[in-house]
Amino acid sequence: MQKLVTKAIEGKAPALYETDIEGRDPFEAVAVAHYFSVFNGWDWYMTEYDPASRMAYGFVNGLEGEFGYFSIAEFEQANKAAGFELIERDAYWRPRRLSDIDRIG
């Protein structure tokens, strides 16, 4: 199965709460990784990550678009239980501001 968080992503991702700056437009945060599911059409854009807890924060484009936390460990568990990748990492993703992504904002 695909590795959802690589060492390169860990190195680029700010720690949880690191980009939470009062008055800052949250869409100016940089999405260091993009995850998606072809089964439900959801997208997750990681802007912060904690390797110890394997929790990420970013923009989630699902039933509605909203900022929130998501668990990389739970993504991996779901993939393992299904026997295939329900949630995949966009291997060609280049980090960019959320405001520069066409499908959100």
Q: Residue 20 pLDDT more than 90?
A: no
Is pLDDT larger for residue 2 or for residue 103?
Answer: 2
Q: What is the pLDDT of residue 7?
A: 96
Indicate the pTM of the whole model. 0.94
Q: Residue 105 pLDDT more than 60?
A: no
* Residue appearing with tokens 């939470």: 20
**Rounded Cα–Cα distance for residues 42 and 102 (Å):** 15
pLDDT digits (tens, 9 = 90+) for 56-96: 999 999 999 999 999 999 999 999 999 999 999 999 999 99
- What integer best gives the mean pLDDT of the chain? 94
User: CB under 8 Å, gap of 24 or more: what pairs does 3-8 form?
Assistant: 3/89, 4/35, 4/72, 4/75, 4/76, 4/87, 4/89, 5/33, 5/49, 5/51, 5/54, 5/72, 5/89
